[in-house]
Structure 1
Amino acid sequence: MEAKFSRRQDIKIRGLPEWHSAMVFDPERPGLCLLNPTAWLVLELCENRTEQEIVSLYADLFGNRLGRAEAGKHVSAGLQTLAKWALLSLPQEQT
């Protein structure tokens, strides 16, 4: 079974479109996290989906402007950023 990613339910996300970013409050850590547009989009797409499902949705949003291979790179980088900040319910934590 392929791992599925979800965002943590206890975090609070506030979009900052004027800054092309999102601010995330994590109640388990003091302070705020500022996400770039790629990480923000990937976080929003993490709804109990596999990495490949996220890549497909991400690529579809960009249409012909971004190929699937490039979309895969963006998603992979975004997931790494989100994991670094512990904003995901990581696959090994899911039952």
Structure 2
Amino acid sequence: MLAYTPHKPAIHYLNPVAWVVVELCDGSSGSQIYAAFKELDKGRIGEPELKEAFESAMDQLVDGGLVDVTRPIRPLDGREVNP
């Protein structure tokens, strides 16, 4: 799959894992996205390999400017809020 970033003109090649991960990036936390990714795998790949593939894909997406990682804001009552 190819992705284009207009803010920093470039075309990026996404391998199948990165494509799945970018589809899962919906504003959820990294652990929630990883849980959804793990659920899609259904135990076919061992945990260390799956986690490595996920982290590699996230690194590719962040480095390429295709996804942003933001720090959640924690209000006084402890609930998480994403701006």
Bin the TM-score by the shorter chain.
Answer: 0.7 to 0.9
TM-score if structure 1 supplies the norm length? Answer: 0.66
In the alignment, does 2:15 pair up with 1:36? yes
* Aligned partner letter, 1:33: H
Structure 1 portions without partners, runs of 5+: 1-21
Question: Identity rate of aligned residues, in percent?
Answer: 24
TM-score if structure 2 supplies the norm length? Answer: 0.74
Partner of 2:29: 50
RMSD value, Cα = 1.9
* Kept in 2: contact 1:59–1:67 (CA 8 A): no
Q: Report the count of equivalent residues.
A: 74
Structure number with the higher strand fraction is 1
- State the structure with bigger RCO (CA 8 A, min sep 6), 1 or 2: 1
Cα deviation digits, residues 20-72 of structure 1 (max 9, x gap): xx111111122311111111111111111112111111111111202344322
Bigger Cα Rg: 2
* Kept in 2: contact 1:55–1:71 (CA 8 A): no
Structure 2 portions without partners, runs of 5+: 73-81
